Amino acid sequence: MFKMPEKVFVVMEKLHWDMLEMILTSDKGRLPEHLTKFLITQILVALRPLHFKNIVHCDLKPENVLLASADPFPQKYSDINNTAF
């Protein structure tokens, strides 16, 4: 993170793709049920600590679920400036 008098810059690692890209490039434009269950479970696990601190991610959508690789699926969440406390 770089702070300047009027701006803050957050630098993140470059990731390969996001969940929306995965959905759009998959067969039939959707993910298999087992993969969807896995991804949703991972999202809920990641959001749990925020929930306990009364923080709400107000812009959670597939393009904000970043995937470090295709397999396994470590996830990161972007656009967290849209949070509510």
Query: Over the stretch 27-53, which tens digit does the pLDDT of each residue have?
Result: 888 888 988 898 899 889 988 998 999
CATH of domain 16-84: 1.10.510.10
* Strand-pair category, 65-67 with 17-18: antiparallel
Percent of the chain beyond pLDDT 90?
9
Query: Over the stretch 8-30, which tens digit does the pLDDT of each residue have?
Result: 887 877 777 888 888 898 888 88
The ranges assigned to domains in the chain are 16-84
Is pTM beyond 0.85 here? no
Residue 71 annotated in active site? no
Query: Residue 76: what pLDDT?
Result: 59
Round to whole Å and give the CA distance between 85 and 72: 32
Query: Residue 11: what pLDDT?
Result: 80
Round to whole Å and give the CA distance between 75 and 38: 11
Q: Which is the catalytic residue, given 18, 59, 71, 79?
A: 59
Round to whole Å and give the CA distance between 75 and 28: 23
